[in-house]
Structure 1
């Protein structure tokens, strides 16, 4: 398969995305129609004939299309390429920016950037390697991440990452793909920075089968409910009220979920509460329960059948018994009185 981007006339160089496996979308590489500054051939190489298309002498970094990872903006895409190694084993490359409104703070990456990277990798491979249509439902069922804090510092350049992904597809008796689980190791500078997994469902009930009372009012395909007043940002380890996803209630262990659809990260598809909103809510509820902002070491989250329909969602939390120098909090989400989300967040003991 060859995808061509750019102008077909004029003087702008075309950019072509080609693949090493013919019609497969795997092993994406990029080249330009003419040499770029600093990428000419090696010294002593023959002159390039007019009309020829010299290849750069080193790889050029680009991101994968935002549609393949369910992002509305290219600035939120973490992945830069992928390649099938053999069978259901893949290598995915990624890059973390040095600055990000949500995922960087105090010279360090927040562990949620690893969760988002793992989420994107599972969705990317579902679409490109397992035939899941781009316009089809692909709800996330589970996300897990375990981090190595020593490898989450921000350096002088963006963090370049290699993801080693093993996909475990799930099929119905008739062979139909019903879901897949992407087990992922994130490596930075040759060392394991995080491990985790994402699981998605490839077949769900049609949207219109939900009872009318469960269907959210939409605005431009997103829930139209206005967010309530947020908690104090410093109480949950955030700098801006825009990044706070919880609103207070009379109970100290209960909060209302704020779904601000204008947030660049907290965006979803089909009028549903985005996965990253719920993961951020779990981290913020953990901070409120422990009485201090904290950096999670491990996050394990499960989502209800399908993904969670948008609506007034109540977040609850309770502390679990401490063990091994860590503290854990169980966070739940209930929509219309029904459980739709649960997560265990573990942090270093304060």
Structure 2
């Protein structure tokens, strides 16, 4: 049985949608971000039983999730969704702040044209229905979020996110000796592939290292990266694996600008930071619309810990590109 939204828990983040220059973000603690600049969410508004709207604002450019071929980075949408998961589990379903929210499954389908960079920051709304809410001893243990997204009033896309919420004690017991944040070892970071091969302009943003095997790479988990490792982690974060899948899909795509508009991902196990993690990509059959698809898996200790199918569509020509960090 699902629990109704609790109005008393929303006092901190429940703000009206703001269209002027005074829009503020939700507290960074609710979305598990250390840097204020990396908080995209601006509010949460109940719309019915177990349904709500989360508002966000996307900058026209970003140091990591920067635009490509005139389109917002689709992974900025995924990061917005990740932040919404934390905000909702903590404020709506009362998961304590030290609980760990873990993705089980993620499906994203975006409209390429709705990602086009405009003359102002993008106003994004996520209409979310929470289903399959699981509780144990009164505490949240998991749920599924069904999302319809709009950008400046236009349909942007849809998503489904399956999440597990673990108490800190359970998480630490599950993680065992890996429960502590990993220490940085610069000597263990392999050199990157050429940035242009994976749609990047800076070597430090490349998360794949070359290997002698075609379409197989070593994951580069640079714990100094200010976005992917915004705060200390004891494992490779989900956003790093999704970025690796995106870069692998671009690496095996034809050498023309494409936009990765779709993701179907399953997270099986944690990716440890103290062992090699291999990223492998193979072309998959096109989808019903003829769009390109690539299957990507992450393998560690001979076990598949993550798998994803990335869908790409061609980018239009003649769109002005704003450089990252503009």
- TM-score using structure 1 length: 0.78
**Aligned match of 2:85:** 122
SS, match of residue 100 in structure 2: coil
CA drift of 1:142 comes to 2.0
**Aligned match of 2:284:** 320
- Structure 1, unmatched stretches of 5+, are 1-19, 31-55
**Aligned match of 1:16:** none
SS, match of residue 124 in structure 2: strand
CA drift of 1:247 comes to 0.2
- Structure 2, unmatched stretches of 5+, are 1-5, 316-326
SS, match of residue 248 in structure 2: helix
CA drift of 1:217 comes to 7.0
Residue 62 in structure 1 maps to residue 27 in structure 2:
no
SS, match of residue 293 in structure 2: strand
State whether residues 258 and 314 of structure 2, in contact with CA within 8 Å, keep that contact through their aligned partners in structure 1.
no
Q: Say which structure, 1 or 2, has more relative contact order (CA 8 Å, 6+ apart).
A: 2
State whether residues 84 and 90 of structure 1, in contact with CA within 8 Å, keep that contact through their aligned partners in structure 2.
yes
Q: Structure 1 residues 242, 173: CA separation in 2 closer, same or farther (over 3 Å shift)?
A: closer
CA drift of 1:206 comes to 3.3
Q: Distance in 2 between matches of 1:223 and 1:28?
A: 42
CA drift of 1:160 comes to 0.9
State whether residues 259 and 314 of structure 2, in contact with CA within 8 Å, keep that contact through their aligned partners in structure 1.
no
C-alpha RMSD over aligned residues: 2.8
Normalized per residue, which structure has more helix? 2
Residue 194 in structure 1 maps to residue 157 in structure 2:
yes
- TM-score using structure 2 length: 0.84
Q: Distance in 1 between matches of 2:150 and 2:194?
A: 35
Q: Structure 1 residues 110, 95: CA separation in 2 closer, same or farther (over 3 Å shift)?
A: same
Residues 6-51 of structure 1: CA deviation (Å, up to 9, x unaligned) = xxxxxxxxxxxxxx94454465239xxxxxxxxxxxxxxxxxxxxx
After the TM superposition, which of the residue ranges 127-136 and 99-108 deviates more from structure 2? 99-108
In our comparison, the structure showing a higher alpha carbon Rg is 1
Give the counterpart of 1:257 among 175, 198, 219.
219
Q: Distance in 1 between matches of 2:245 and 2:283?
A: 12
**Aligned match of 1:33:** none
Give the counterpart of 2:14 among 28, 45, 52.
28
How many residues are aligned here? 302
State whether residues 182 and 235 of structure 2, in contact with CA within 8 Å, keep that contact through their aligned partners in structure 1.
no
SS, match of residue 101 in structure 2: coil
**Aligned match of 1:141:** 104
After the TM superposition, which of the residue ranges 241-250 and 309-318 deviates more from structure 2? 309-318
Q: Distance in 1 between matches of 2:279 and 2:59?
A: 30
Q: Distance in 2 between matches of 1:178 and 1:91?
A: 22
